[in-house]
Structure formats: structure tokens, C-alpha cells
């Protein structure tokens, strides 16, 4: 599937988009506590990585929401068919992270296994040829209880405000008598994404957890 041009003149969000287009830094971040008990139990039962499982869960949910898949190409708004995950990873015993970029997959088992294969075989920091406008950026700080987080952006880039790449990060999970929760950070561009869309993202994440 290819990207589809968005009907800008009849877009219900046009007025909001135009308003936030006049702001030099339209990006904002929210961090909230999220229950990952079902996902945790599933990956542990099936010998999968919790980190890769979280990436799968977020990416599966995000792709259900059209607003997260809108981007700017050649000064035109388009709707992407899918967004792919691009995530930080760290090999055991090392301190230098690297960026893994791979295709989206609907199946959690297949995704986690493929993510592990690609990450284990990667021996370079980043493949810039894969870093295009159809990604979601993921990261994790498993050493801390995450309560807030910001991401780097090149605001001197004349096209910086066109960036609708969502950044999703989380910290270590806490165990409360079997219930697993963690701080989940979502950073978005207000030209495209409002709080209601983040709420929809959480609803879809809950939905896919319930299916596990």
C-alpha cells in the first residue's frame, strides 16, 4: 500500500492544524502510569522479550489510529498505510546503544523473534537509509521509575514542525502483588495529535492486551 493524499480543505482538523502551525515548538509530551500485566504474563509464558513485546503493543495500537499516520511529504499532507518501529537497543555487557529499524508485524510472537534476530545481528549504530518519515521512535530506561522524559529535536531544521513521528518511551515496571505498571511517555506534534488521540492509543493498547 502507498500513502494517500489527505483532503486538506475538508479535513476536520484543518483549523487546529493551522493554529499550531504558527507555533515555533508545537511538540508536547505526556507521561502516565500504564498497566502491562497481561503483556508481561504473556511474554514470560512464551519466552519472549518484554521490551520487544512493549514495542509490538504500542506499534500495533498506534497504527489503528489514522491521526498518528499522517505526515508531510513534498509540502502535502499524506496518510501513511503503516508506521514502522525504530528502537534503541543495548547488547549485554555494553553501554553504547544502537538503533534498530524493522517492519511492522501484527503477530507478537513473530515480531519479538524477528526483533531479537535483527538486533543480535546488528553491528553498527544506525542505518540512516531506513530512517525516513514512516517510523515510530521507541526507547526504554529500565533502570528508573519514569515520570517524565523529553526527546532531542533539531528545531533549526526548516521542516522540523512537519515531523509527526511519535516518540514513545517507558521506564522499569513496578510489581504490586502481581500487577505490573510502568511510566509510559508519549511525545507528539500538536499540529496532528491531541489528548484524545493519546487516549485512543491507550484504548487500543488495552484492546490488544486483552487479546493475549
| The three cell numbers locating residue 61 | 495500537
Say if strands 135-141 and 76-79 run parallel, antiparallel, or are unpaired.
unpaired
What pLDDT is recorded for position 73? 95
| Cβ partners under 8 Å of residue 112, min gap 6 | 43, 48, 49, 52, 53, 56
What's the confidence (pLDDT) of residue 198? Answer: 98
Domains in the chain, start-ordered, CATH in brackets?
A: 4-210 (3.30.559.10)
pLDDT value for 155: 87
Rounded to 5°, the CA angle 163-167-172 comes to: 170
- How many other C-beta atoms lie within 10 A of the C-beta of residue 127? 13
DSSP 3-state of 53: helix
Considering the entire predicted model, what is its pTM? 0.97
DSSP code string of 63-82? TT-GGGGEEEETTEEEE-S-
How confident is the model at residue 135, as a pLDDT?
98
Regions in the chain scoring below 50 on pLDDT: none
Per residue in 9-29, is it b (16+ CB within 10 Å) or e — as a string?
eeeebeeebeebeeeeebbee
* pLDDT for 132: 94
Amino acid at each position: 500500500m502507498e500513502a494517500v493524499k489527505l483532503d486538506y480543505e475538508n479535513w476536520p482538523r484543518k483549523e487546529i492544524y493551522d493554529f499550531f502551525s504558527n507555533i515555533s515548538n508545537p511538540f508536547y509530551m505526556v507521561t502516565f502510569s500504564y498497566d502491562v500485566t497481561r503483556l508481561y504474563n504473556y511474554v514470560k509464558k512464551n519466552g519472549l522479550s518484554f521490551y520487544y513485546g512493549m514495542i509490538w503493543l504500542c506499534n500495533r495500537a498506534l497504527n489503528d489510529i489514522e491521526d498518528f499516520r499522517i505526515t508531510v511529504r513534498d509540502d502535502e499532507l499524506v496518510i501513511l498505510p503503516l508506521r514502522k518501529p525504530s528502537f534503541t537497543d543495548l547488547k549485554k555487557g555494553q553501554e553504547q546503544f544502537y538503533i534498530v529499524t524493522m517492519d511492522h508485524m501484527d503477530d507478537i510472537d513473530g515480531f519479538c523473534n524477528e526483533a531479537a534476530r535483527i538486533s543480535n545481528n546488528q553491528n553498527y549504530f544506525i542505518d540512516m537509509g531506513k530512517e525516513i518519515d514512516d517510523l515510530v521512535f521507541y526507547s526504554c530506561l529500565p533502570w528508573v521509575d519514569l515520570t517524565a522524559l523529553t526527546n532531542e529535536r533539531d528545531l533549526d531544521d526548516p521542516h522540523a514542525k512537519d515531523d509527526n513521528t511519535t516518540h514513545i518511551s517507558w521506564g522499569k515496571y513496578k510489581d504490586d502483588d502481581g500487577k505490573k505498571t510502568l511510566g509510559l511517555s508519549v511525545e507528539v506534534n500538536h499540529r496532528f495529535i491531541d489528548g484524545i488521540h493519546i487516549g485512543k492509543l491507550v484504548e487500543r493498547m488495552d484492546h490488544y492486551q486483552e487479546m493475549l
